[in-house]
Amino acid sequence: MSGSIPPTFTQPRSLEQALKHFFGYDCFRPGQREIVEAALEKRDMMIVMPTGGGKSLCFQLPALLKPGLCVVVSPLIALMQDQVEALQDNGIGATFLNSTLSGMEARSRETAILNGQIKLLYVAPERLLGERFLPFLDIVAEKLGVSAFAIDEAHCVSEWGHDFRPEYRQMQQVRDRYPDIPIMALTATATERVRQDIIQQLNLRDPFVHVASFNRPNLYYEVREKTKRSFAEVLQIVQQKGGSGIVYCLSRKRVEEVAYKLQQSGIQALPYHAGMNDVDRSTNQTRFIRDDVQVMVATIAFGMGINKPDVRFVIHYDLPKNLEGYYQESGRAGRDNEPSHCTLFFGYGDVKTIEYIIDQKPDPQEQRIAKQQLRQVINYAESSECRRTIQLSYFGDLFPGNCAQCDNCCAKKPVEDRTLDAMKFLSCVARCKEKFGMNHIIDVLRGSKNQKVLQYQHDQLSTYGIGKDRSADEWKTLARSLLHQGLLEERTDGFPTLKLNDRSWEIMKRQRTFEMAVEPKRDVPGKTRSLAVEVSTLFALLRTLRKQIADEQQVPPYVVFPDKSLMDMAEKRPQNLSEFEDVHGVGRNKRDKYGQVFLEAIRTFCEEQGLPLGNAPGPVTNLPKVPDVPSYSQMQTLELHKQGLTIQAIAQMRGMTPGTISEHLVKVMEMGHSVDINLLVEPNRQQPIIQAIEIIGDERLRPIFDFLQESYSFEEIKFVRAWWWQNNVGF
């Protein structure tokens, strides 16, 4: 650890040089340079930047360029540790003092500080103001000088913020005790009111204020319709994006289910929700941060205080409850500013679920707010406007639109005249006497022969089967569009029923036309970087190497190198140390520390590949096939069966019919899982069924049933047939 700084770096002209030397970055992010300059002028500061904006560098770089110690106040111990590790990995003298250290360890760190080996010291607020620490700081101030106080998560000081912490209030003492030492307040979430409050509470003097836009230009936003194929789409995103990602779900059950299905599809995924115990949760979290697993499937309990910069995608498999939550959760993608993907699956079923949850709230005022927030989410999802414009307007940021980085801007939805279809749909509602819901109307239009249609003799209606040319999903979209445009109404008296209004009749009388936005064909979602196959192969290889090194050092992989550095290496394929230094994120220290190993890996790769040239675009894949694996519910049945429970007992436990449980077991057998057949069919009844199958054939059940003279049930036959398949056809 060395904090010695060549004197030339204090010249502003060489700030870029200092940035490259210490952190390996070539240029400042928007705002950073101005902030660093103001910090060098010893000004107080109020910095508001969205997550991932690069706040830390704003106090870290000045700390390295100024004499003395910079004290960083940070409320989260885990984050403290992360930042210190990352700094140390850059060869920068940094350490922390908090309650996790033994007395001896703390004293040895204090000695290092007094010896001038440390430029950045991280402390928790309660520590800073403790009786022991301030006298120590007096000595430091006297002997070495304190260059600044950086107060991270500064919104905690304000009661108007969302995360008020009383111990932050005491921070004023610092100003009183050290009036000449500049204070820098930093936060990611602050309204004007919170900002003013922070300035007042910390007693900042004529602060340099920087409020960055909440726009996150590297994030691509899209909304997809939730359909039966949604899971396959999730799988496709996971496979195509390659890096780490988070899938958010509304309930614990859904989390377990999606994690299970991803695992079955060969993806390294883990669940995370409030129903798990602390140990499991924190183990899963660490495994995600360390890249042991690719995907975290989680409720919104996951993510707060997690500082993983290389999350490449965030998928909301279920609808978020409000837009601010969505901004924060999706904002966990791409903190390293690399292109990342945010997908929201939107289905009306979710709207119903959330409405139900809202209705359970006892306080009418709370209900009203929740409903309004839900309305905003729906508007976001349904809108054909730029997604950024909608999100940012929520924070009072004006964004002109045309961001070129959202689904709506990339593919303006064409509008089509669909008056004829609307007439068909509405007259079908009329023929059914306005007594039925959407699905039934669609069944009639599409000429379904289901029981309900036949029972009401709706197959006799003149509108029966006139909508066969469109799929049920297409009709649903049309019906919803009619509802949104106020051309049709839905009432819920027990169950939802479609009703006509004056405008519906105007359409049927051809006094009004009907237009709606239609989905463009979705091939390649968004603007994704299509990589040469070689680049992505090398990238994957370098990730593995990074993971090994990180594990040896017991740090998260991104501490060794961010994704961008590996990508840059994969593209540039440096052949020697000086070329290696041109790679993004490689400073002196990392060059010396990791250069040889990475060069070696790249060299080997190039030899094996015969130095590939050119950038062939990656293959465009169709939706992946979701492997034929048991559903989560079927697996639960199988587990209970393996514990020796009878079908009856399982049915009772799970609140399902015995028939459903039998079906589960047959299905899992057909997919190759072994069950105890003797628990399902009495041993002496198995052989006759096998004989029948061997004589009659295994295709249809009825002939087997008849052959056995109806003395064996269909259920028994199904079990034995599945067992026979397993043992004869060779799974």
Residue 19 or 445 with smaller CB distance to ligand ADP: 19
Residue 57 or 262 with smaller CB distance to ligand ADP: 57
Residue 53 or 125 with smaller CB distance to ligand ADP: 53
Residue 25 interacts with, from Zn ion, ligand ADP, none (CB under 5-8 Å by kind): ligand ADP
The least distance separating Zn ion from the CB of residue 410, rounded to whole angstroms, comes to 8
Residue 55 interacts with, from ligand ADP, Zn ion, none (CB under 5-8 Å by kind): ligand ADP
Dihedral, 474, 480, 481, 483 alpha carbons, nearest 10: 150
Query: How would you class 166 by CB atoms within 10 Å of its CB: exposed for 0-12, middle for 13-18, buried for 19 or more?
Result: exposed
The least distance separating ligand ADP from the CB of residue 407, rounded to whole angstroms, comes to 26
Residue 335 interacts with, from Zn ion, ligand ADP, none (CB under 5-8 Å by kind): ligand ADP
Orientation of helix 563-572 relative to helix 533-553, angle to 10°: 130
Cα separation, 74 vs 62, whole angstroms: 18
Single-letter amino acid, residue 254: R
The least distance separating ligand ADP from the CB of residue 544, rounded to whole angstroms, comes to 21
Residue 182 interacts with, from ligand ADP, Zn ion, none (CB under 5-8 Å by kind): none
The least distance separating ligand ADP from the CB of residue 368, rounded to whole angstroms, comes to 34
Burial 615-640 (b: 16+ CB within 10 A, else e): eeeeeeeeebeeeebbebebbbbbeb
CA atoms within 13 A on the CB side of 2: 6
Residue 32 or 477 with smaller CB distance to ligand ADP: 32
Residue 53 interacts with, from ligand ADP, Zn ion, none (CB under 5-8 Å by kind): ligand ADP
Residue 409 interacts with, from Zn ion, ligand ADP, none (CB under 5-8 Å by kind): Zn ion
Residue 49 interacts with, from ligand ADP, Zn ion, none (CB under 5-8 Å by kind): ligand ADP
Residue 326 or 380 with smaller CB distance to ligand ADP: 326
The count of other CB atoms within 10 Å of the CB of residue 523 is 8
What SS3 state is found at 286? helix
> Are 246 and 303 contacting, i.e. CB atoms less than 8 angstroms apart?
yes
CA atoms within 13 A on the CB side of 85: 17
Binding footprint of ligand ADP on the chain (CB under 6 A) = 25, 28-29, 32, 49, 51-57, 309, 335-337, 562
Residue 406 interacts with, from ligand ADP, Zn ion, none (CB under 5-8 Å by kind): Zn ion
Residue 54 or 557 with smaller CB distance to ligand ADP: 54
Pairing of strands 495-499, 489-493: antiparallel
Residue 60 or 477 with smaller CB distance to ligand ADP: 60
Cα separation, 393 vs 416, whole angstroms: 29
Residue 245 interacts with, from Zn ion, ligand ADP, none (CB under 5-8 Å by kind): none
Single-letter amino acid, residue 121: L
Residue 57 or 567 with smaller CB distance to ligand ADP: 57
Binding footprint of Zn ion on the chain (CB under 5 A) = 386, 388, 403, 406, 409
What SS3 state is found at 202? coil
Q: Integer distance in angstroms from the first to the last C-alpha of the chain?
A: 60
Q: Which residues partner with 122 through β-bridges?
A: 72, 96
Residue 52 interacts with, from ligand ADP, Zn ion, none (CB under 5-8 Å by kind): ligand ADP
Taking every pair of Cα atoms in the chain, the longest distance, rounded to a whole number of angstroms, is 101
Cα separation, 96 vs 508, whole angstroms: 73
Dihedral angle sign, alpha carbons of residues 57, 62, 63, 65: positive
> Are 640 and 606 contacting, i.e. CB atoms less than 8 angstroms apart?
no
> Are 298 and 254 contacting, i.e. CB atoms less than 8 angstroms apart?
no
Residue 54 interacts with, from ligand ADP, Zn ion, none (CB under 5-8 Å by kind): ligand ADP
Spatial neighbors of 155 by CB under 8 A, at least 6 apart, are 161, 162, 163, 187, 188, 189, 190, 194, 198
Residue 300 or 403 with smaller CB distance to Zn ion: 403
Residue 57 or 680 with smaller CB distance to ligand ADP: 57
Spatial neighbors of 451 by CB under 8 A, at least 6 apart, are none
Residue 2 or 528 with smaller CB distance to Zn ion: 528
Tokens of 585: 């994120």
Residue 31 interacts with, from ligand ADP, Zn ion, none (CB under 5-8 Å by kind): none
Residue 96 or 220 with smaller CB distance to Zn ion: 220
Residue 556 interacts with, from Zn ion, ligand ADP, none (CB under 5-8 Å by kind): none
Residue 325 or 703 with smaller CB distance to ligand ADP: 325
Cα separation, 660 vs 347, whole angstroms: 27
Single-letter amino acid, residue 681: V
Strands (E), 285-432: 295-298, 311-316, 340-346, 415-417
Cα separation, 368 vs 168, whole angstroms: 33
> Are 24 and 91 contacting, i.e. CB atoms less than 8 angstroms apart?
no
The least distance separating Zn ion from the CB of residue 399, rounded to whole angstroms, comes to 8
Strands (E), 364-450: 415-417
Cα separation, 618 vs 626, whole angstroms: 21
